[in-house]
Structure 1
Amino acid sequence: MHSHLQLLIVEDLEDDMLLILRELRQGGYSLDYVRVETPEAMQAALDRATWDLIIADYTLPKFSAPEALKLVQRQQRDLPFIIVSGTIGEEIAVAAMKAGAHDYIFKGNLARLVPAVERELREAKERQKRHQAELALQESEEKIREQAALINIASDAIFVCDFSNQITFWNQGAERLYGWNAVEVIGKDVRTLLGQDLEESEMLQTVLEKGEWQGECQKLNKTGQIVIVATRCTLVRGEAGEARSILIVDTDITEKKLLEAQFLRAQRLESLGTLASGIAHDFNNLLTPILAISQLLPLKLPDLDEQNHQLLQLIEDNVKRGADLVKQILTFARGGDGKRVPLQIRHLLSEVTQIVRQTFPKAIEIRTMLSTVDLWIVSADSTQLHQVIMNLCVNARDAMPTGGTLTIGADNLVIDESYRRINPEASSGSFVVLTIADTGTGIPAELLERIFDPFFTTKEVGKGTGLGLSTVSGIVRNHGGFVEVYSEIGKGTQFKVFLPAIPQKVDLAVEATAHAHGQNKLVLIVEDEASIRQVTQTTLELCHYKTLVAKDGVEAISLYAQHHQKISLVLMDIMMPSMSGLTAVRALQQINPEVKVVAMSGLATNYEISQEGGSSCIKAFLSKPYTTKDLVDTLQTVLCP
Structure 2
Amino acid sequence: MAALIASADWSATALGPAETWPQSLLTILRIMVTSRYAMWMAWGPELTFFCNDAYTPTLGVKHPSALGRPANEVWSEIWRDIGPRIESVMRTGQATWDEGLLLFLERSGYTEETYHTFSYSPLPDDEGAIAGMLCVVAEETQRVIGERRVATLRDLASELGAVRSEAEVLQAIERSLGRNTRDIPFSLIYLADGDSGRLRRVDETGGIDSQLAPAIVEQPESLPWPAIEILSGHEKRRLHDVSTMTGLATGAWDKPPRQVAVVPIAPQGEGQQSGLFIAGLNPYRPFDEAYAGFIDLVAAQIASGLAAARAYEAERRRAEALAEIDAAKTAFFSNVSHEFRTPLTLMLGPLEEEIITRVRDDSVERLSMVHRNGLRLLRLVNTLLDFSRIEAGRVQARFQPVDLAAFTADLASNFRSACERAGLRLETRCPKLPQPVYADPEMWERIVLNLVSNAFKYTLSGAITVAMEASADGRAAVLTVRDTGTGIPEAELPRIFDRFHRIEGQRGRTLEGTGIGLALVNELVRLHGGTIAVQSQVRVGTTVTVAIPFGRAHLPPERVSETPARIVAAESSSAAAFVEEALRWLPSDGDAPSVAGASLAGDVLDTPSALSGLGLGAVAPAPERPRILLTDDNADMRDYVSRLLRASYDVEAVGDGQEALQAARAKRPDLILSDVMMPRLDGFGLLAAVRADADLRDLPVILLSARAGEEARLEGLDAGADDYLVKPFSARELQARVRSNLDLARLRRQARDALRHANEQLEQRVAAEMEKRAQAEESLRQSQKMEAIGHLTGGVAHDFNNLLTVIGGGVETAQRLLSAIPEIAEDPKVKRALGMISQGAERAATLTHRLLAFARRQTLDPKPLDANKLVAGMSELLRRTLGESVALETVLAGGLWRTIADANQLENALLNLAVNARDAMPQGGKLTIETANAFLDEAYAAKHDDVAPGQYVMIAVSDTGTGMDRETLDRVFEPFFTTKDVGHGTGLGLSQVYGFIKQSNGHVNLYSEPGQGTAVKLYLPRLTAEAPDEEADKAHQAIVHGRGETILVVEDEPAVRDYSASSLRELGYRVLSAGDGKAALRLLARDPAIALLFTDVGLPGGMTGSQLADAARAQRPDLKVVYTTGYARNAIVHGGVLDPGTEMLPKPFSLATLAAKIRTVLDG
TM-score (norm 1): 0.49
More strand per residue = 1
TM-score, with normalisation over the residues of structure 2? 0.29
Bigger relative CO (Cα 8 Å, ≥ 6 apart):
1
Of the two, which has the highest radius of gyration? 2
